[in-house]
């Protein structure tokens, strides 16, 4: 069952970018690229060698592998519905959050290692947005632990929650989908298709990477997106009492359609508005946690 869980997670990670591209193309009235075009692009990158600047250290060379390893490790904590995850222990939801943070730190340090002012600018923005988004993620994880009484993803989603927590779980799923936009660098927070260094955030940190290293970074981004998307789908599936086989398609549809529609109908935020956007998500996460806390008290009004 653990192997099936991992297989579904990897399939979701590969399908989400394709659905985003197809949704964006259809809404724009275009034929668009192939559903699996992103896989062909990464295959080409894996066939190319890497070129390193003489000003960079070993940190720059190790960062892509560390980033990919952190994303893959974080993915192993995530269950698909009530299937058992590959890694599971008490408190693994905290390990999940900080494993993702370690990957971000590695990429930020690598960008600073280049000595490029543009990459340093992108690194500072990434660090700021990460510091603003992590409280929202931790609050949602704390909410899941609060309403279920467990600190392990495997136990949180293995048991049917009480009916009174349905709204809390649905709101938690909504916040996790909003976090995907920040963590994966999508519109309205960032635009992976932009080529203007002054407005780039995640992509500008990868300007000096090519070949295999760039492929690792792209794959890690897919895995991180899949992890957060599956968490959102798990929360929604648990709220409605659905079976595990609904979770994987729900994760792909939730993120693929949401990101594709937003990128087709909205422009990217001005940089000064990104902090407001992320803080709004954090405040919403705090409200969800407070709502779950009040429901947990089971107060009776007379």
In 3D space, the residue among 134, 209, 141 whose CA is nearest the CA of residue 179 turns out to be 134
In a domain, 44, yes or no: no
- Lookup result for tokens 């929360």: 235
Cβ neighbours around 193 below 10 Å, total: 10
pLDDT digits (tens, 9 = 90+) for 53-85: 888 999 999 999 999 999 999 999 999 998 999
In a domain, 36, yes or no: no
In a domain, 34, yes or no: no
In a domain, 94, yes or no: yes
What is residue 122's predicted lDDT score, i.e. its pLDDT? 92
> Domain count of the chain?
1
What is residue 299's predicted lDDT score, i.e. its pLDDT? 61
What is residue 278's predicted lDDT score, i.e. its pLDDT? 95
Give the chain's end-to-end CA distance (angstroms, integer): 48
The pTM assigned to this predicted structure is: 0.95
Contact (Cβ atoms closer than 8 angstroms) between residue 80 and residue 30: no
What is residue 197's predicted lDDT score, i.e. its pLDDT? 67
- Lookup result for tokens 């089971």: 298
What is residue 57's predicted lDDT score, i.e. its pLDDT? 94
What is residue 301's predicted lDDT score, i.e. its pLDDT? 53
What is residue 298's predicted lDDT score, i.e. its pLDDT? 74
Determine the structural domain holding residue 176 and report its residue range: 2-29+50-296
In a domain, 45, yes or no: no
What stretches in the chain show pLDDT beneath 70? Answer: 197, 299-302
In a domain, 41, yes or no: no
In a domain, 260, yes or no: yes
Signed CA dihedral, 48, 53, 58, 62: sign only? negative
């Amino acid at each position: 069952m653990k192997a099936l869980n991992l297989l579904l997670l990897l399939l979701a990670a590969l399908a989400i970018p394709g659905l985003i591209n197809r949704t964006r193309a259809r809404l724009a009235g275009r034929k668009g690229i192939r559903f699996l075009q992103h896989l062909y692009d990464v295959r080409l990158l894996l066939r190319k060698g890497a070129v390193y600047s003489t000003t960079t250290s070993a940190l720059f060379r190790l960062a892509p592998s560390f980033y990919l390893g952190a994303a893959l490790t974080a993915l192993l904590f995530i269950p698909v519905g009530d299937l058992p995850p590959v890694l599971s222990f008490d408190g693994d939801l905290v390990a999940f959050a900080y494993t993702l943070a370690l990957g971000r730190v590695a990429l930020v340090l690598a960008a600073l290692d280049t000595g490029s002012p543009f990459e340093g600018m992108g690194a500072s923005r990434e660090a700021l947005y990460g510091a603003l988004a992590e409280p929202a993620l931790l609050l949602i994880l704390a909410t899941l632990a609060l309403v279920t009484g467990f600190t392990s993803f495997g136990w949180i989603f293995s048991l049917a929650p009480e009916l009174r927590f349905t709204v809390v779980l649905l709101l938690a799923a909504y916040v996790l989908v909003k976090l995907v936009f920040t963590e994966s660098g999508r519109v309205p927070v960032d635009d992976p298709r932009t080529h203007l260094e002054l407005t780039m955030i995640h992509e500008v940190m990868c300007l000096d990477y090519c070949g295999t290293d760039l492929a690792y970074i792209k794959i890690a981004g897919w895995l991180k997106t899949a992890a957060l998307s599956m968490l959102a789908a798990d929360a929604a599936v648990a709220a409605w009492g659905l079976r595990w086989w609904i979770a994987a398609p729900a994760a792909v549809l939730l993120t693929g359609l949401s990101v594709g529609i937003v990128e087709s109908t909205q422009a990217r935020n001005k940089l000064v508005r990104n902090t407001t956007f992320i803080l709004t998500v954090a405040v919403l996460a705090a409200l969800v946690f407070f709502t779950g806390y009040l429901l947990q008290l089971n107060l009776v009004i007379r």
